[in-house]
Structure 1
Amino acid sequence: MMIDVYICEDDVKQLEQIHTIVRRYLMIEKLDMRIAMATADPQAILAEADNQHQRLYLLDIELGTPMNGIELAQKLRQVDVNCKIVFITTHAEMLTLTFKYQLEVLDFINKDEPEALQARLIQILNLAQTRLTSSQHHQAAYVQFKVGEQVRSVRADEVLFIESAQVPHKLIVHMANAQFEYYGTIKQAATLNKNFYRCHKSIVVNQTCITVINKRLHQLTVSNGETIDCSVAASRALAKLVRVSKM
């Protein structure tokens, strides 16, 4: 899987410098990586965050916005526990905060040593590729849900389906022997994993957990025996995607 590199730096000149170093090295070495975004806006970075891709974030700490690099890293880590984060900054005194907030930073590059910037970036690109490729082969896919103030990680293959609760903006995650609620939208839930499919306006099903597709009743049966509603269009689409009993 290709690794996406995201750069967030508020100094236009330094942003261009980092972008150029990374772009040239990736082009020369033909690494399975690409620059997905280079911006001064942390909100733009955050808007792209998910846990379905291999990602490396190169972040400045002082971004000149209400959200600094430490806060951005916290939010990114909540969404993607496996992403790699590197700080490129002059604020070496803030290094201790990365331990306080348990950010698991891959590295820290001091801008006060510009002559070493290229070498350090190249070193980090190679290290990130090694670490992320290794984790891709050895870790099962997980999805993260923010439950209250905590982030709950669940194996994607253990999620049967997600449905809207009676409380507005609240969803229920159904597993084989448990369920829990969290705040979110059905639209967003469908993007959490490649096997999640929106089968109804209020339901997202895990395609790998479907055992029966009943096109007559517009229902699906999942692996624990529960039945859920399915739209006519989704029934037809899933019948082509999933090899299970059809009625």
Structure 2
Amino acid sequence: MFPIYLYEDNREQRESYQKTINNTVMINEYAMELIVATTNQQEILADMSQRRDGLFFLDMEIGENEQAGLELASEIRQQLPLAKIVFITTHDELSFVTLERRIAPLDYILKDQSAEQITQKIAKDIKLTQQMLEKTSDQLPEVFSYKIGTRLFTLALADVIMLSTHKDRPGNVTLSTANRLAEFPGNLSAIADKHPSLFRCDKSALVNLSHVQSFDSQKRELLLDGGIKCDVSFRRTRELNKILKNADGDCLK
């Protein structure tokens, strides 16, 4: 089920929005579900740490904090780059701030409209999200995810250059991309099973062969984008040579 979240501190409004969301999903038989409806952003953060995407209806002002929804949206966008965010707010003047923070909301719903207009807009945003999901379901890039503590990070698998382990850091994996270096708990065997397109150079490294610059088969050394180097075991050298030659038709060193 595709998750939907609601962040609203006015009880009457929250119940009204909940009803609209549930009715829209049920009537149209969407594979969606309202997972959390709350005034506590920690409830949303805790649940979304297990997700890759979601539709978020966020009140901008919670209690005395006029930017509570904006702060939550920034965290959502960092953890879930594909998330759909809708602000339900009286603060349309903060729309420029969302541009500065690169939140890229799907919609703004202003509370000074009639209840019927708000209901229609919520339903419209749910339907728009469904249409987006249908259009991209066959086009979505494979995603790589990892956790640090309770936080889930995602990126396109195509952006991964290398995943490696080190003897002095057992139980941890180092991720290398063009603009990111991160370490997280994990093991390469589990990652290799989940992402078979990654090539196992040896027991301590997985690489994305689309980032290969060259391979010196005599030294058994692979040069990747960003100047990243990786040793290749004797057993995997023959297989790697075959893969690379078939990929570009060139003879390797």
State the TM bucket, normalised to the shorter chain: 0.5 to 0.7
State the SS of the aligned residue for 1:103. Answer: coil
In the alignment, which residue of structure 1 is the partner of 2:15? 16
Shift in Å at residue 164 of structure 1? 7.0
In the alignment, which residue of structure 1 is the partner of 2:125? 124
* TM-score (ref. length: structure 1): 0.66
Shift in Å at residue 62 of structure 1? 0.8
Aligned pair count reads 199
Tell me the amino acid that sits aligned with residue 131 of structure 2. T
- The 5-angstrom pairing of residues 1-247 of structure 1 reads 2-50=1-49, 52-64=51-63, 68-113=68-113, 114-143=115-144, 153-155=155-157, 158=160, 161=163, 163=165, 171-173=173-175, 181-182=181-182, 185-186=184-185, 198=187, 205-208=191-194, 223-228=199-204
Show structure 1 runs of 5+ residues with no match: 191-197, 212-221, 230-247
CA contact under 8 A between 2:164 and 2:204: conserved in structure 1?
no
Deviations 1:144-170 (A, max 9, x none): 679xxxx88341695764647857997
Shift in Å at residue 123 of structure 1? 0.8
CA contact under 8 A between 1:79 and 1:144: conserved in structure 2?
no
Output the CA distance in 2 between the equivalents of 1:20 and 1:165: 54
CA contact under 8 A between 1:84 and 1:128: conserved in structure 2?
yes
Output the CA distance in 1 between the equivalents of 2:33 and 2:172: 36
Output the CA distance in 1 between the equivalents of 2:167 and 2:103: 32
Output the CA distance in 1 between the equivalents of 2:88 and 2:8: 9
- Aligned-residue CA RMSD (Å): 3.7
In the alignment, which residue of structure 2 is the partner of 1:216? none
Shift in Å at residue 142 of structure 1? 2.7
Deviations 1:92-132 (A, max 9, x none): 11111111111111000011113311111111110011113
CA contact under 8 A between 1:88 and 1:110: conserved in structure 2?
yes
Deviations 1:54-107 (A, max 9, x none): 410000111237671111111111111111000001111111111111111100
State the SS of the aligned residue for 2:48. Answer: coil
Output the CA distance in 2 between the equivalents of 1:79 and 1:87: 18
Tell me the amino acid that sits aligned with residue 7 of structure 1. L
Output the CA distance in 2 between the equivalents of 1:101 and 1:165: 39
Output the CA distance in 1 between the equivalents of 2:106 and 2:176: 34
Tell me the amino acid that sits aligned with residue 24 of structure 1. N
CA contact under 8 A between 2:60 and 2:69: conserved in structure 1?
yes
* Structure 1: 4+ residue segments shifted above 6 A: 167-170
In the superposition, relative to structure 1, how do residues 167 and 209 fare at CA in structure 2: closer, same or farther (>3 Å)?
closer
Higher radius of gyration, 1 or 2: 2
State the SS of the aligned residue for 2:137. Answer: helix
In the superposition, relative to structure 1, how do residues 227 and 168 fare at CA in structure 2: closer, same or farther (>3 Å)?
closer
Mean Cα deviation higher: 9-18 or 41-50: 41-50
Output the CA distance in 2 between the equivalents of 1:224 and 1:168: 18
In the alignment, which residue of structure 2 is the partner of 1:215? none
In the alignment, which residue of structure 2 is the partner of 1:238? none
Identity of aligned residues (%): 25
CA contact under 8 A between 1:51 and 1:143: conserved in structure 2?
no
State the SS of the aligned residue for 1:112. Answer: coil
In the superposition, relative to structure 1, how do residues 93 and 43 fare at CA in structure 2: closer, same or farther (>3 Å)?
same
Output the CA distance in 2 between the equivalents of 1:122 and 1:40: 21
Tell me the amino acid that sits aligned with residue 41 of structure 1. N
State the SS of the aligned residue for 1:4. Answer: strand
Mean Cα deviation higher: 79-88 or 62-71: 62-71
In the alignment, which residue of structure 2 is the partner of 1:214? none
